[in-house]
Amino acid sequence: MKTEVFNNLNSLFLSAAQEVFRAIRLKPNFVLGLAAGKTPVLLYKKLVEMSLAQKFSFSQVTTFNLDEYVGITKDHPESFYKFTQEHLFKFLDFKRTEGLNGAATNFKNECIRYEELVQHSGGLDLQILGIGTNGHIGFNEPGSEKSSRTRLVNLSPETQAKIPHPNFEKTPTQGLTLGISNILESKNIIIIATGATKAEAVKNSFSAIESKNYPASFLQSHPHCTLYLDQDSARLLKV
Ligand code: GLP
């Protein structure tokens, strides 16, 4: 795992966007894994700006969203699918944009369907990740096994407390997520953490050995994973 610490957010997200572009240029029929949350918003903004400026086409690129709330449809204003639509899909000409269906009638079948779809697309070439303050990735909460696959999970109280509620009738208590092993199968991974609120999670996940108490720590063993940090999130990291 490679760690890069940046002096400002602009250079961090520029560098991450350049990594995404470089990878897609090498393999146009790229399969890109997308995270939701506040962290990747600036990355997605850069991707949109750069692709418009360079007339770069994503027409052969397929995207897979990492996770989704349970109990809502894709077009719900707070769904992760809607989030990626607002920040990326409505600007870029992706070939296909896939997401887990949080309103499925059978979640087991939905997870199988999604894994098969990833597989038939050739597998993830690059997964973009944020990190929860408790060290989660996707909705792989503390306690998730390294071998975990796509599944229905209960959201931790900490995660539930961070869900913006105005648009929810009832705050989601469960989610669907790619598992740790699905994430580790991605050929490349970019994980981004910014701000002081992530410093503790960064330290716990990347300064000590792998542990299911901090699911992001499992990324340490991935051969092509880059950790993008700003000064605030890297503050407690011992490298
Ligand atoms: C959410 C998502 C994650 C995301 C994380 C951090 O619960 N399931 O995919 O990376 O929390 O979110 P943020 O970037 O808003 O801090």
| One-letter identity of residue 113 | R
Instruction: Determine whether the shortest distance from the Cβ of 138 to ligand 1 is under 6 A.
Output: yes
pLDDT in tens, 18-40: 999 999 999 989 999 999 999 99
Q: What is the CATH number of domain 2-230?
A: 3.40.50.1360
Please tell me the predicted confidence (pLDDT) of residue 53. Answer: 95
- Within 10 A of 157 (CB to CB), how many other CB atoms are there? 10
- Region 191-208: what's the mean pLDDT? 97
| One-letter identity of residue 79 | S
What b/e sequence results for 181-201 when a residue is b if at least 16 CB atoms lie within 10 Å of its CB, and e otherwise? bbbbbbbbbbbbbbeeebbbb
β-pairing verdict for 151-154 and 174-177:
antiparallel
Of the pLDDT bands very low, low, confident and very high (cuts 50, 70, 90), residue 165 is confident
Cα of 131 from ligand 1 centre, angstroms: 6
Only one residue has tokens 């509620």, namely 165
Which residues are 65's β-sheet partners? 34
Of the pLDDT bands very low, low, confident and very high (cuts 50, 70, 90), residue 218 is very high
The two three-digit tokens of residue 144, written as one number:
């998730």
Domain positions in the chain are 2-230
Query: Which residue's CA lies nearest to atom 3 of ligand 1?
Result: 138
Q: Is residue 134 flagged as an active site residue?
A: yes
- Within 10 A of 238 (CB to CB), how many other CB atoms are there? 7
Please tell me the predicted confidence (pLDDT) of residue 233. Answer: 98
The two three-digit tokens of residue 6, written as one number:
């940046």
Query: Which residue's CA lies nearest to atom 5 of ligand 1?
Result: 132
Of the pLDDT bands very low, low, confident and very high (cuts 50, 70, 90), residue 166 is confident
- Region 103-119: what's the mean pLDDT? 98
Share of the chain above pLDDT 70, in %: 100
Cα of 69 from ligand 1 centre, angstroms: 12
Share of the chain above pLDDT 90, in %: 94
Cα of 147 from ligand 1 centre, angstroms: 21
Please tell me the predicted confidence (pLDDT) of residue 167. Answer: 82
- Within 10 A of 59 (CB to CB), how many other CB atoms are there? 10
- Within 10 A of 17 (CB to CB), how many other CB atoms are there? 21
Q: Report phi then psi at 109, rounded to 5.
A: -65, -35
pLDDT in tens, 34-88: 999 999 999 999 999 999 999 999 999 999 999 999 999 999 999 999 999 999 9
Please tell me the predicted confidence (pLDDT) of residue 239. Answer: 64
Cα of 237 from ligand 1 centre, angstroms: 20
Q: Is residue 141 flagged as an active site residue?
A: yes
Summary mean pLDDT of the chain = 96
pLDDT for 164 beyond 80: no
Instruction: Determine whether the shortest distance from the Cβ of 38 to ligand 1 is under 6 A.
Output: yes
Q: Is residue 76 flagged as an active site residue?
A: no
